[in-house]
Amino acid sequence: MSETIKNILKIASVLLLFGLILYLFPSYTTSYRYHVEVGKPWGYGLITADRDFPIYKSEQQLADERAELLKTFAPCFRPDSGMRRVPEPAVVTYADYERLTEAGITRISVLTGRVSTPLPLERVYTPKSAYLAFSKDYVPNLTYDSITSSRLKDNLLSQIAPTQGMVQAGEKIIDRGEIITERDYQILQSHRRSMEEHQFSTTQRITRAGGTAILVSLFLLLFILYLYIYRRDVLQSLSASWFFTLLVAMMVLGAFIWMRFLHWSVYLLPFAWVPVLVRIFYDSRTALFLHMVVVFIVALAMPTPYEFLIIQMVGGIAAVLSLTDLTKRAQLVHTATWIFLAYSLTYTAVILHGTGDVASLNWHFYAYFLVNGVLVVCAYGLIYLFERTFGLLSSITLVELSDINSDLLHDLAEHAPGTFQHSMQVSSLATEAAKAIGANAILVRTAALYHDIGKLLHPEFFTENQDTVNPLASLPPKQAAALIINHVEDGVHLAEKHHLPPMVSHFIRTHHGTSMARYFYNTAINNGEKVNPKDFQYPGPKPSTREGAILMMADAVEARSHSLTDYTPQTLAESVDKMIDAQIADGQFADTPLSFRDIETVRAVFKQRLATIYHHRIQYPEVKKQE
């Protein structure tokens, strides 16, 4: 895939995320954003009336009053044309009688001219009941007057007042921590209704939407700028861009849907997933920065953004500080515990700071924070999902891969023992060097174990696995160099066959960079052959990370150390300097962010480690024969 297409896809993913955030952003016609539930503590600050407003009755109250009033209502019937009095017996249709009994009607009103005569329902018959009572057939002689009945019913119901009392401007409505009663609920709903009657104008809504769009775009742009300045390697990765986009979408859009449709506390959502997952796959600074972006965007829709921001930021910092390299599953439990404690302590402090009253604490929030802790532990299942989806690599996977009892490394140890020992030594050297300059030591250690697995297909071609005979000695230098160089592609194929992560495969490709198979190249020149340097050059690419450069140096230095005849600290140091200087002169580290100080530190580590490996051992004295 070309870089142009990758850039288009990255821009499209960000624009899609931006559009979805604006589309799902909770729409408020007023600034009223409070969730109200009877029997639960009021989780927000003090609310006072900003204007006079009536207390509206609840729908249940109005329904009860309507039902009570309708018990006195008498539907209107008119006798057959020509009749000027109430017929005896009064007979209605089966349908009319059934409707009257189902509605609980106890009487009807018979209209004769301008006179309305009440008639108890027990004196109203159907054709069948009239026949049973009078042993004579009757037909309905009263007709339901729907128009007059509806008018009289509306007039009767209009007597019900929709309100019950008033709240004066400046009057306290409710304060933090108070349990919401039915009365409080009605007043709060009346407050909401009062504010909605003074809703924003069209111009105000457009202006608010514009402000929201600017803020959201600003937060996303700041994160992109951060990646451009500090983690350009991550910004250039399409899979990383999609990972960040999905993570932001999962948390922000999930929070907006949660608030719009479920109306449960947003503190149940595991926002700590963001710093935890990003820290597992990348670094602490990126994890904290993305967490800030997510929290800032969600806070725009919160009724109490100040409280939400402080709690979530402290929780995110606790997550990052408590999680270094995830090498054991138990570390997630420790992180979840610290997040719970950070949430709980911060929430307590914020409420006490705002109210000065312990009674204002809402104990439901501690349950929400506990749920968050459990969900953080559940994030372990997402690690494998994201690794497979985006080609990421976690520390715990690296630890699993570095198990030398795995099938692939076991085969390497059995069929190419010299290469296996070389890989172990390279792993040790590279790990110490990575630790010294603050690189990813676990990644380097694992990559070093697999960097030469391509030699497993033809171990006899490589001197570390040979006893006496070298099968390449009789071949032309060009052909012998090709067989040696092929171990890189062979290693990549083996890595794919054994489903090693793409990042490990990348180390296999780059551990020789574009360097030369110098032994065979020099031999060909010394033989007077016409030489094309490309025939003796590894395909590359050059390493692009500090970890890749460290592995390349460690591989070359460890291999060269075996060519020495005299193992003294001086000869080992000269060997290290000569090998690394040659790689620098060849431009192999030009694409990496290694500094001169990093290289000097790596040199010193290699010299010290090699001196320790090849240190002089004392000669054990033999026991002299006793005379």
Whether the per-residue pLDDT at 278 is higher than 70: the answer is yes
pLDDT of residue 359: 75
Residue type, 550: I
- Mean pLDDT: which of 129-138, 194-203, 320-329 is highest? 129-138
Phi, psi torsion values for 168, nearest 5 degrees: -85, 150
Classify residue 36 by burial, with Cβ atoms within 10 Å: 0-12, 13-18, 19+: middle
Q: 3-state class of 297 per DSSP? A: helix
pLDDT of residue 234: 86
Confidence of residue 3 (pLDDT cuts 50, 70, 90): confident
Question: CA 50 to CA 610: how far, in whole Å?
Answer: 78
| Range scoring the smallest mean pLDDT among 30-44, 60-74, 105-119 | 30-44
Question: CA 20 to CA 297: how far, in whole Å?
Answer: 13
pLDDT of residue 325: 66
Higher confidence at residue 266 or residue 432? 432
Question: CA 156 to CA 66: how far, in whole Å?
Answer: 9
- CB atoms under 10 Å from CB of 528, counted, come to 7
CA 202 to chain CA mean position, Å: 35
What value does the mean pLDDT take over residues 427-455? 94
Q: Per CATH, is 232-390 categorized as 1.10.1760?
A: yes
82, 148, 158, 444 from 137: Cα distances, Å: 20, 30, 42, 104
pLDDT digits (tens, 9 = 90+) for 106-127: 999 999 878 899 999 999 999 9
Classify residue 477 by burial, with Cβ atoms within 10 Å: 0-12, 13-18, 19+: buried
- CB atoms under 10 Å from CB of 395, counted, come to 23
Question: CA 71 to CA 94: how far, in whole Å?
Answer: 21
pLDDT digits (tens, 9 = 90+) for 463-521: 888 877 888 888 899 999 999 999 999 999 999 999 898 889 999 999 999 999 988 98
Residue type, 475: L
Question: CA 278 to CA 274: how far, in whole Å?
Answer: 6
pLDDT of residue 104: 86
Residue 507: name the closest of 431, 458, 464, 446 by CA.
446
Contact predicate 155/21, CB 8 Å: no
Question: CA 581 to CA 602: how far, in whole Å?
Answer: 12
Q: 3-state class of 37 per DSSP? A: coil
Structural Rg of the chain based on CA atoms: 41
- CB atoms under 10 Å from CB of 241, counted, come to 22
- CB atoms under 10 Å from CB of 508, counted, come to 25
Whether the per-residue pLDDT at 387 is higher than 80: the answer is yes
pLDDT above 90 coverage of the chain, percent: 51
Close Cβ partners of 506 (under 8 Å, ≥ 6 residues apart)? 548
Confidence of residue 33 (pLDDT cuts 50, 70, 90): low
SS3 track for 85-149: CCCCCEECCHHHHHHHHHCCCCEEEEEECCEEEEEEHHHEECHHHHHHHHCCCCCCCEEECHHHH
| CB crowding 226-239: b at 16 or more within 10 Å, else e | bbeeebeebbbbbe
pLDDT digits (tens, 9 = 90+) for 591-608: 998 999 999 999 999 999
Residue type, 148: T
Whether the per-residue pLDDT at 31 is higher than 70: the answer is no
DSSP 420: H
Classify residue 338 by burial, with Cβ atoms within 10 Å: 0-12, 13-18, 19+: buried
Fold of 395-613: Hypothetical protein af1432 (1.10.3210)
- Which residues are bridge partners to 120 per DSSP? 107
Residue 559: name the closest of 615, 514, 518, 605 by CA.
518
Q: 3-state class of 179 per DSSP? A: strand
Q: How do the domains of the chain map onto residue ranges?
A: 69-157, 232-390, 395-613
